[in-house]
A and B are shown apart, each in its own frame.
Chain A
């Protein structure tokens, strides 16, 4: 993580090709207007978003810095961080020599998790139009994700089928905190449509499902909120495996974005161990839970766990598989991982090539 302001003269072309699997474009509500009906635009002006929490403006847990963003990411043009394509190009894409960035639009303007699912449907569609109009049209290195109104599986599938006709879209995009666990039936139409389109499903940490962040209720602090994204993701992966969605859609690929990855091996061990005892409950599983993880899940690096002993991080990466780990920066957020310094220095060249770009290039079919 770093909020350091880098001197421009330190910009350099990395020897290695870099693909950033988590680049946050900021789509403003104002930018959505051309893609919304007058009725929805007027509704938004009057009632605003309601995302299963109480704050009319802002977040349940105030971020540690405004917009959870690097202090140096506010563009001179005056908009919020991540809103100015030219500034992002200069500060991030060109500075680090990034080949491709996968767009991961967050925020209430995308309609994610709104209590009003019809509003989510309208905003998701607008967010997909907006990524094309405001971002990829201006910067072809950036690739859009299909935002879906995920609480309505059928409407989401329709949005996937509509967007997938445009090969620029590289994945179906969900959040980790949603109204039910991701393996539940209400979300199956999304996986069906993704499998049919041959697109991975990227699931980014955050969102508001309306449940407390822990199974003992709401914690007090933002540091807990950040930490708890991993526990929520553990329940998510568990659900996707136990509900059997990978038996139903054997080609389905899931990308865990900003969920961390250090916890994944231990989760696999836990599920395997107790599955051995309880497997008669879930006869639809045809192999051990960890085998589904190994076959169907990819992870992105940021926020990369910081181990006390650097060898332990490498061991964990090895347990996950170097063919499953993809670099991500989380630009422009405060906990951004710097492409030049965040990966362990002791990785082999081959491992670095896979993590920085090879795995993402293959998964997202870039080039």
Chain B
């Protein structure tokens, strides 16, 4: 790791320009499938390409896209914002596919593309393993395949899926994560198997985006109630682009019902907020809080933990203006923890020399 005092940016997004980019990483059958069936793009409506949130305007290149090459990302995130390490989380829509076999092929191609076109280009880059959650066995295979490359530091899933992530169906993935010391990252996004709200499909994009925070709440509740941490005590979860400030009130409510209903889930043997502090981490962008630094300070105080937040720019998503990756209202001592200590404690592989 270059420069021990440099921040670790835990949420950066490489953009896949189109399906052609993945062709070299597919076998003949799937390459032909892409061409014959006219599969041009797997971009998702989670981030409509032209939406202001998808990229800050000045970061868009001639083709209108941002972050299509490693040098673009490192110039902004590592050089300008002084990150010694940036973790790449690809949001390309392989999770939307319904064919398990196609999902497996395209997901593997995506991970190989990230390794070759990104990780090989700059030693400051790390990445998450995207997994074909459509089939648990395939997902575990993909973890085993990619985890050999120590530059992969996390397993990546989305906030909204076909089933809640705590369900026992997915536990082989948690076993693999524990085996390799990899946290499970849950990023904003959806496989679009269920409506994005409990009230169906809303009208406006801003409602879709707001509903991501509801997806995170449901995943936290599921992982805890199903007993994932009782079974896998080393399991760590990182909530990426979650918005953060929904967490305290969610835990107060969930904790209250745990007190009243714990007989239903006897393996949850301590309060949810304790479990969250031990097993969950959240990235700092976006921080859904008012601009007022005092309000930010109060909202952070409600988390009751200095260990829980991780530095992240969410580049190229437009979450803040200027260079204020860490919002005003966070103390200098906490800034250091967020930027360096907490990420190092979360991602074991960052302490290694990756090559």
Contact = CB atoms under 8 A, between A and B. Distances in A.
Interface string B180-209: 000000000010011111111011111101
Interface in B273-289: 273, 286, 288-289
Interface string A217-256: 1011111101110111011101100110000000000000
A212 B268 CA distance: 24
B231 interface: no
Contacts of B318: 277
Contacts of B222: 214, 216, 219-220, 224
Contact of A271 (B197, B200, B210): B210
A266 B198 CA distance: 19
A309 B301 CA distance: 10
Contacts of A273: 286, 288-289
B341 interface: no
B159 to A, nearest CB: 8
Interface in A149-168: none
A227 B194 CA distance: 19
A216 B219 contact: yes
Contacts of B219: 216
A320 to B, nearest CB: 11
Contact of A308 (B196, B197, B211, B273): B273
B256 interface: yes
Max chain B CB contacts within 10 Å: which of A232, A262, A309?
A: A262
Nearest to A335: B260
Contact of B199 (A232, A263, A270, A305): A232
Given A1-B256, A231-B217, A266-B246, A242 B286 contact: no
Interface of B: 51-53, 159-167, 190, 193-200, 202-207, 209-211, 213-215, 217-219, 221-222, 225-226, 243, 245-246, 248-250, 252-265, 273, 286, 288-290, 298-299, 301-302, 304, 318
30 contacts: A1-B260, A178-B199, A179-B200, A181-B199, A182-B199, A209-B198, A211-B195, A214-B164, A214-B198, A217-B164, A219-B222, A220-B167, A221-B264, A222-B264, A232-B198, A235-B199, A235-B202, A235-B211, A238-B207, A242-B204, A263-B250, A266-B299, A273-B289, A274-B206, A277-B53, A282-B206, A305-B252, A312-B252, A312-B302, A315-B298
